[in-house]
Amino acid sequence: MKRKFDDGIWLGNYCPFCGEYHKVYVSESDYINYLNGEYIQNAFPYLNADEREIILTGICSKCWG
């Protein structure tokens, strides 16, 4: 699903297990709120658990499960 934000940015990480690069599109203002201490599920309510895990640890859903 493609999300559109006026201030959208891509966040990416390499999975530490498989080495694949994964990226997630978020609002920059939401990312700033997250960096300032907002809980990830509150900062990015539009992301699913797998997408939030990419931001937190870089671990992809294929390697997590």
pLDDT for the residue 64 = 84
CB 24 within 8 Å of CB 11: yes
| pLDDT band at residue 3 using 50, 70 and 90 as cut-offs | low
Indicate the helix (H) or strand (E) that contains 34.
helix 28-35
**Model pLDDT for residues 11-63, shown as the tens digit of each residue:** 999 999 999 999 999 999 999 999 999 999 999 999 999 999 999 999 999 99
> What's the rounded Cα separation, in Å, for the pair 9 and 24?
8
> What's the rounded Cα separation, in Å, for the pair 10 and 31?
10
pLDDT for the residue 7 = 84
pLDDT for the residue 16 = 97
